[in-house]
Structure 1
Amino acid sequence: MIIWLNGGFGAGKTTLAEELRLRLPEAVVYDPEDVGLMLWKWVPPNEDFQDLPSWRELVVATALSLRRHHADTLVVPMSLVRDAYRAEILGGLAEAGEEVLHVFLEADAAVLEARVAARAPVPDNPETGQSAGEWALSRMDAGAAARQPAGTLVLRSDRLTPAELADEVLAAVEPRRVR
């Protein structure tokens, strides 16, 4: 199974992935951001590596390979901001026969802003002068939860602790493992 943790920047995807890794020690946590950073070593960096078709293709291929060769359970903390990209990636995994639980972590905008602001500073983008925090805040979408596909497990990360979020995810995973 693949557990895809989606949500705005600062929603708690990485924290939840770590909580799930503690509870599912056999699981592999796969961060597709690493694929984007790898691509930027070879192709000119753009504003958002998700716009690169090769990123989306490699994210699916890497997930499939990790699942096939290294883990029964893959936990993927990655914001998929654009609906078309989410459909392309999650659809590609489903078409390959993977069971995917798509989790969307929702939180009030003020909470997300505070969490992003509290992160350790990352150097500004020399091309735009924009900080990583400013970049993340510019991509927040208050209506994203309403547009998630059917079957998405939507959880409020500003109202539940990481342990409670993990409980909810694992409760949703269990019936799927029995199939």
Structure 2
Amino acid sequence: MIVWLNGTHGVGKTTTSALVRELIPGSRVLDAEKVGETLMDIAPSLPWTGNFQDWPPWRPLVVETARHVLDYTGGTLVMPMTVLVEPHWREISAGLAHHGIPVRHFVLHADQDTLRGRIDGDLVMGPSDFRLRYLEPYAEAARTWLHTAAEVVDTTRLTPAEAARRIAESVAVTP
């Protein structure tokens, strides 16, 4: 199974995914951003689109990487990755379904003021214009498709540990 943690940059996906991993036996974290970083290494030969997720190889490579890791290790993959473009999500989820891989899709959500505060106050990454640029695209995705395509965990007033516990408990009751 895959537990996909979606949501905008700065909402706490990376932190929460590590905590979810601790709560779900036999799980491990697979960060799909690493697939994008691999493509970025060959970027001079790829037409720049502004986001590696727009490169056609990224989405099937994410699917195949997850499939091969699960075939090798079994268990559960916790995948923290922002995907705000609906056709991209549909391609990934259809690819995983094609291989018979169940996906629990969660969106970590917080209100705009909370997100801005978290991004501006991030002690590890520091304030980030990149992350701030995704607040409106996230809000648009949330309004139009994302919140209906996933289980929403509102983290506005939750710690990452509380959010992780809610996700792990929800996954544990899956039939």
What band does the TM-score fall into relative to the shorter chain? Answer: 0.7 to 0.9
Q: Where in structure 1 do 4 or more consecutive aligned residues deviate above 4 Å?
A: none
Alpha carbons 1:28, 1:71 under 8 Å: kept: no
Gaps of 5+ in 1: 123-131
CA offset at residue 25 of structure 1? 4.9
Partner of 2:119: 116
2:68 counterpart SS class: helix
TM-superposed deviation, 1:90: 1.5
Identical positions, percent: 37
Distance 1:104 1:148 in 2: 8
Q: Which runs of 5+ in 2 are unaligned?
A: none
2:29 aligns to what? Answer: 29
Alignment of 1:35-114 (within 5 A): 35-44=35-44, 46=48, 47-114=50-117
Q: Which moved more, 1:20-29 or 1:87-96?
A: 20-29
Q: Which residue of 2 aligns with 1:9?
A: 9
Q: Distance in 2 between matches of 1:32 and 1:38?
A: 10
Q: CA deviation at 1:167?
A: 2.1
Structure 1 residue corresponding to 2:128, chosen from 129, 133, 145: 133
| C-alpha deviation, 1:112, in angstroms | 1.2
* CA deviation string 1:116-174 (max 9, x = no partner): 2223458xxxxxxxxx8212211222243342265621011112222221222122212
Tell me whether 51-60 or 145-154 shows the greater mean CA deviation: 145-154
Please say if residues 81 and 139 of structure 1, whose CA atoms lie closer than 8 Å, have aligned partners that are also in contact. no
Give per-residue Cα distances to partners, 1:1-40, cap 9 Å, x unaligned.
1000000111111111011122235211001111111111
CA-atom RMSD, angstroms? 2.0
Q: For 1:88 and 1:149, how far apart are their aligned partners in 2?
A: 17
TM-score, length basis structure 1: 0.85
Q: Which amino acid aligns with 1:153?
A: E
The one-character-per-residue Cα deviations of 1:86-119 (angstroms, maximum 9, x if unpaired) are: 1111221112111100000110111112222223
> How far, CA to CA, are the matches of 2:125 and 2:77 in structure 1?
29
Q: Match of 2:61, as an amino acid? A: L
- Alignment partners' CA distance in 2, 1:174 and 1:24: 8
